[in-house]
Structure 1
Amino acid sequence: MDLDPTLMKSTNSTTSLRSFSANTNAMNPATARLSRRLLIFQEARNPSNMSEIVYLPVNKLGLPICGPGPELPSILELPLRILRAFTEIFNQPKYKGWAVLAAGPYHDTSEEGKYYAVVLEQTHSHSREEAVS
């Protein structure tokens, strides 16, 4: 993954990351309020029905994303069985107010199995109780 050059600090620069973030938010306040999160799902067999495949969240709360985030393909490039599963998952009430921006395979060389990464974006501000949990 490439580092965002705007977040790198040269030795001649006196601008801190904190002031850069504050300046960025001041320039575009609409995007400052929106939140994005990265969720990882593992493909696994359902223990109750071994012929059924389920997608289990690896990080239930997701990771907050600052900056452009990871480059993932359109969710439409996923196989139909995964689209069906993600449709069921993200239509649950706990994901109300969140939209899927991108999704794709996630390659983890330290673990066996198939993983998928999903980037969610908050579509409107809402109370903390309604946040992804």
Structure 2
Amino acid sequence: MTLFSKIINGEIPSYKIAESDKFYAFLDVFPLREGHTLVVPKTEVDNLFDLGDEYLSELLVFAKPVAKAIEKAFRCNRCGISVIGLEVPHAHVHLIPINSSNDLNFTQPKPKASDDDLKKVQEKILSQLK
């Protein structure tokens, strides 16, 4: 079982942003930028592009209102999306408020956010999620 499956199952605590029967969105505890959110399919697949076509398209549709809420909650030009998939062998996308392409540079340090900061970020995004 992957780390993300344990988070989805509630075995590891997370800062949930949204959930459906197929997907789970939660804050990255090692964010590149404030508001960095992960969107994960509940099905365990290592490579995002191994998901079926319909499931893959549904993931983007699920992520859209989360991305729009991030854009409203933080000062940014847009919500960027990135697929790296090397850290955890469970397909996922990163939603990150960005002002430049460097804001999506995963070689930058990613310090662990405090619980207080993560709760504030969670509240900001949830307040914008309709």
TM-score bin (small chain): 0.3 to 0.5
Higher strand proportion (structure 1 or 2): 1
Question: What TM-score, normalized by structure 1, do the two folds share?
Answer: 0.33
Structure with the larger helix share: 2
Structure with more contact order per residue of length (Cα contacts < 8 Å, sep ≥ 6): 2
